[in-house]
Each structure stands twice: as structure tokens, then as C-alpha cells.
Structure 1
Amino acid sequence: MSEDAGTASAAPGLNAERTKAFVDAVVAIAMTLLILPLMDSVNDSAARNHTTAEWLIAERDQLQSFLISFVLIAMFWMLHHRLFVSVVRVSAALFWITVGWMLTIVWMPVVTALTGQVDDDPLQKAIYIGSLIATTGILLATRIHLLRRPELHSSARADLRVGMSIDVSIDVSMIVLFALALVIAIAVPAIGYLALFVMFLTGVVQRGVSRLLR
């Protein structure tokens, strides 16, 4: 065992495996809750004798919101999972940062239902995309905390610093692109939440941010 790993194992803190399991459960529940508005709409359509085509047309906005949010939560979970793979201890500060991150995830089904069922307006877009910025921002705060507290990690200090530096540039790139998507969604209402497709540029922006950080 490396010196860093031994230090981490001896460091006081909360059990990392239970924290990871807690996060996984919260994310799974949030992803499941996304489907509830659609389930309710199926019951309503059945009561009104709507056809499948009529249901699809009537719920197209809710379906779009569901798919976008489902993919985004899955992406956030993957990033958080990668971040916590080598965490062996959870400090009190790290726990509360993680609780803040989970709060933004649990909030997603609410704003998803809002975007699918309430008439579109700039405030709605600000709340939805702002929530995505908050989730990414807290993930960035988690990385910075772990970078400053290597005793919580089993990774060697050099490997941790290199890996975290790369991931920090990804988080910063995502925040920049989410902010850009918000501006586009508000400035061009016809595009709406499709502006989130700018996230496909994450790799390009990340390379530029990485060079700036170096």
C-alpha cells in the first residue's frame, strides 16, 4: 500500500462506501421520478379515449424534457461516480458538499415537470438550466475539496493532481456551455431547450480551458 493510501485509510471521517451507496440510491430515485408526469398523462389520456398518436402529440414537450433530464442525470452520476471511485474517507465538509449536489439532482424531476407542463417563459429556462449549472458547480467544488484533501483519496498525490486538473477543466467547460445554452434559449425562444445540444462542444471547449489552466 502506498503512503498516501495508508494515510487515507487512517484518516477520520464517514464511511465512503455507505456514502457512495447513498448517492447511488438518491440518483436512481430521481431518475425514476422523472417518469411520473408521463404516467399520470397516460391515465388522463386513457380516461379521455385518446389514441396513442394523440397522446404522443399532446405530451411531446414532456417527453422531450424527460429524455433530456434522464440523459443529463445519467451524465452527472457518471462524473460523480468517477470522482468517488478512489475516495476512501468522507470528511464532514465533503459529506455536506455531496448533500448539496444530491439536492440539485432531487430537484431535477420538479423542474423537468415544470418545463413539460407549464407554458414556456424565460424564468422557466433560467430555473432549469440554472439547476444544471448548480449541479456542475457543486461537482467542481467537490473536486477542489478532494484536491486539497489528498488524505481522503487512495490515489497517489501526483496521479490525483493530474486527473483532477483534467476533470476540473471539464467541469468549467460544462458550466460555460450551460451558461451559453441559457443565453441562446432565452434569446431565441424557437430553439428553447434544444440549445442544450451545445454540450456536444464540451470536448472542444475543455481543451481550450485545459490550456488556460496550465
Structure 2
Amino acid sequence: MSENDATAEQLSPLISAERAKTFADAVVAIAMTLLILPLMESISDAGGASTSASDWFAEHDGQLFSFVLSFAIIAMFWINHHRMYAHVERVSGGLLWLTMAWLLTIVWLPVATAMSSEFSDDGLLVRLVYIGSMLVTSLLMLVTRLYLRAHPDLLDADPEHLTRGLSVQLATTTLFAIALVVSLLVPATTYYPLLLLMLTAPVARLFRPLARRRRP
């Protein structure tokens, strides 16, 4: 094999960028759908026990809150991932495995959501699993953005186009970490510290100078 052939083989993508995007979209859609299954089961149980609709809402208010919260957060993850992949032209082995690791955390989130509404006695552990899982998801997306910035050959645009997204991801990851610490240190706050994510835009502006720094 000639040197040019070896170089071409190394640069050839394992799968096309469009196929990777389609696969990621499908996995996220399935994960979002799985969030509703515990509620569907509880409705079947309530119907068999002749429970009224008002009683069902009252008994499952925490479960409904977890469902809406998790749905919104997974949607946020998907939007950020979609924007990140918008300029990806090739998928290398490293990018593929980072994407698979990220999708693993997405698929896990419905399990963590179910735990948050079913295991109320293990409050600290469940909050660690629930918010901690989201933190890991955000961290993996941050690592993926850094990987793409370090491998501009995978993009169809200047890596500096990722700067704004990188600052947003830094802000999101930081806010998840703060929410986890607050939730563990102040148990009465339960999952409400996740509302700190509403501050993503102003915090991202603070991180923008750091995100603009070029690699050495």
C-alpha cells in the first residue's frame, strides 16, 4: 500500500456524518418516548383500581414533574448536539466512540428518571444518580466539542464556529455541577436546583473569552 493510499484510508470516515446524525436522532427520540412508560403503567393500574383522575394526578405529581423535567432536559441535550453536528462533515473513530458514550448516557436517563420518582427513601443517592447522570451527559458533549475543535479536518467550517457552542456547553456543565452540589447539600431543594439551567445564556457570556482561546 502506498503512502497516499494509507493516508486516504486513515482519513476515510467509519460512517457518514449524516448516518451518525440520523442514528443519534433516533436514539434520543426513543429515550424521550421511554420517559412516558412508567406513567402509562400507573394509569393502567389506577384504572384497574377504579382510581379517579384527580386522585391519579395527586398521587403522581412527583412522577409527572420528573417526566416533564427530564423531557425538557433531553430535548435541550438533543438541540445542542444537533447544532454541534451541523458542521461535522466526517466521523472519525474517536468522534464515533464519543457519540456512542454520549448516547449511552441519554438512554440511561429514563432509568434515572424512574428512580427519582420511585425511590424517595434514598433521596441523596437518587439525586446523585439523577443529576449526576445529566452532568456526565453534559461533560461528554463538552469533551466532544473540544475534540472537534482539535480536529478541524472533520468539519466543513472554521473550528471557531464552535466557540459559541463551547461557551454554552461550559456554562451548562458548570450549572449541572452546581445544581448537583446544592441538591446534595440542601436536601429540601430536591430537584429544583436544576432550574439554574435558566441562567445558561448569561453564564455562557462569562465563559466566552475562555472558549475563544486557541489551542497552542
Report 1:108-119 matches (<5 A). 108-119=109-120
What corresponds to 2:128 in structure 1? 126
Residues 212 and 152 (structure 1), Cα distance of their counterparts in 2 relative to 1, 3 Å cut: closer
Residue 187 of structure 1 deviates from its aligned partner by: 2.2
Distance in 1 (CA, whole Å) between partners of 2:50 and 2:162 is: 54
Contact 1:105–1:135 under 8 Å retained in 2 = yes
Deviations, residues 70-116 of structure 1 (Å, cap 9, x unaligned): 00000000000001112111001100000000000000000000001
What corresponds to 2:40 in structure 1? 39
Please give the secondary structure, in 1, of the residue aligned with 2:200. helix
How many positions carry a matched residue from both structures? 201
Distance in 2 (CA, whole Å) between partners of 1:204 and 1:211 is: 13
Contact 1:11–1:152 under 8 Å retained in 2 = no
Distance in 1 (CA, whole Å) between partners of 2:196 and 2:141 is: 20
Residue 168 of structure 1 deviates from its aligned partner by: 1.4
TM-score by length of 1: 0.90
Report 1:155-170 matches (<5 A). 155=157, 157=158, 160-161=159-160, 163-170=161-168
Distance in 1 (CA, whole Å) between partners of 2:111 and 2:45 is: 20
| Superposition misfits of 4+ residues, deviation over 4 angstroms | none
Identity score, percent: 43
What corresponds to 2:182 in structure 1? 184
Residues 47 and 26 (structure 1), Cα distance of their counterparts in 2 relative to 1, 3 Å cut: same
Residue 211 of structure 1 deviates from its aligned partner by: 3.1
Please give the secondary structure, in 2, of the residue aligned with 1:190. helix
Distance in 1 (CA, whole Å) between partners of 2:114 and 2:36 is: 9
Residue 65 of structure 1 deviates from its aligned partner by: 0.5
Residue 212 of structure 1 deviates from its aligned partner by: 4.1
Which amino acid is the alignment partner of residue 186 of structure 2?
V
What corresponds to 1:152 in structure 2? 154
Distance in 2 (CA, whole Å) between partners of 1:98 and 1:213 is: 21
Deviations, residues 148-170 of structure 1 (Å, cap 9, x unaligned): 11111111x2xx21x22221111
Structure 1: 5+ residue stretches without partners: 1-9
Report 1:20-35 matches (<5 A). 20-35=21-36
What corresponds to 2:171 in structure 1? 173
Contact 2:135–2:173 under 8 Å retained in 1 = yes
Deviations, residues 113-142 of structure 1 (Å, cap 9, x unaligned): 000111151111111111111111110111
Residue 213 of structure 1 deviates from its aligned partner by: 4.4
Report 1:68-147 matches (<5 A). 68-119=69-120, 120-147=122-149
Distance in 1 (CA, whole Å) between partners of 2:210 and 2:84 is: 22
Distance in 1 (CA, whole Å) between partners of 2:85 and 2:174 is: 24
Which amino acid is the alignment partner of residue 191 of structure 1?
T
Please give the secondary structure, in 1, of the residue aligned with 2:81. helix
What corresponds to 1:53 in structure 2? 54
Distance in 2 (CA, whole Å) between partners of 1:91 and 1:122 is: 39
Contact 1:16–1:88 under 8 Å retained in 2 = yes
Higher relative contact order (CA 8 A, sep 6+): 1
Residue 11 of structure 1 deviates from its aligned partner by: 3.8
TM-score by length of 2: 0.89
